[in-house]
Amino acid sequence: MKPNIEMYLKASEFYGLTEIVGEGHNQTILDWFVDIGFDWVDNDETAWCSCFMNWVALKCGCEMSFKLDARSWLRVGEETLQPELGDIVVLWRESIASWKGHVGLYAGKNRNGYIYMLGGNQNNQVNISLKDKDRVLSYRKLRNA
């Protein structure tokens, strides 16, 4: 199976998984941090979009960024201008010059300039949401590790 399809299917298994608001924390999210080497994270309010992508990549045997910042994915895989289902999408957040970003998997597009993105920490859950294509920094094809 192609790495992008395998990643999409694995991420989809967690569709609807949500942070726990308040003092509790979703143990599944905390376990993802541990699995990728960030055992110091002790709450699900820590930004986890890159954590989720790293965990999915780990489980699928794909290359990883090994970092928690979304823009770290700009240095992983190979850039593509023709994204396919399950390719990595890296977005800027706040401003294009900021260090902040968001990362998820390409899930299609609509005719109004938006892309569908499957990712973690989208409204505090794993879901598919619409993102403006003008915020895309890069689409990335991952390789097997």
Q: Where residue 65 sits, what CATH number does that domain have?
A: 3.90.1720.10
Q: Each residue of 58-107: pLDDT tens digit?
A: 999 999 999 999 999 999 999 999 999 999 999 999 999 999 999 999 99
- CA dist., res. 55 & res. 105, Å (int): 13
> How many independent structural domains does the chain possess?
1
Percentage of the chain beyond pLDDT 70 is: 100
Query: Residue 107: what pLDDT?
Result: 98
Q: What was the pLDDT predicted at 113?
A: 82
Structural domain boundaries enclosing 19:
3-141
Which residues, other chains included, contact 82 with Cβ-Cβ below 8 Å and sequence gap of 6+? 139
Judge whether residue 22 has pLDDT over 90: no
Mean pLDDT of the 18-30 span: 94
pLDDT at position 54 is 98
Distance CA 5, CA 1 (A): 7
Q: Quote the pTM value.
A: 0.96
List, in sequence order, every beta strand (DSSP E) within 29-144.
78-80, 88-92, 101-109, 114-122, 125-132, 136-141
